[in-house]
Amino acid sequence: EVQLVESGGGLVQPGGSLRLSCAASGFIFSGSDMNWVRQSPGKGLEWISFIDKNADKKYYADSVKGRFTISRDNTKNSLYLQMNNLGAEDTAIYYCGRGPAGWQDHWGQGTLVTVSS
Amino acid sequence: QSALTQPASVSGSPGQSITISCTGTSRDIGAYNYVAWYQQHPGKVPKLMIFDVSNRPSGVSTRFSGSKSGYTASLTISGLQAEDEADYYCSSYTSTSTLVVFGGGTKLTVL
pLDDT > 70? residue B1: no
Q: Count of alpha carbons within 13 Å of A18, Cβ hemisphere only?
A: 22
> pLDDT tens, B34-86?
999 999 999 999 999 999 999 999 999 999 999 999 999 999 999 999 999 99
End-to-end CA distance of chain B: 28
Q: Helix or strand or coil: residue A25?
A: strand
CA distances to B9, B24, B84 from B4, in Å: 15, 5, 22
**Alpha carbon of B106: minimum distance to chain A alpha carbons (Å):** 10
> pLDDT tens, A26-85?
999 999 999 999 999 888 999 999 999 999 999 999 999 999 999 999 999 999 999 999
The answer to whether A1 faces chain B, any CB pair under 8 Å, is no
* CB-based contact A108 B45, cutoff 8 Å: yes
* Other CB atoms within 10 Å distance of the CB of residue B81: 12
Q: Are B38 and B49 in contact (CB under 8 A)?
A: yes
- Model confidence at B97, pLDDT cuts 50, 70, 90, reads confident
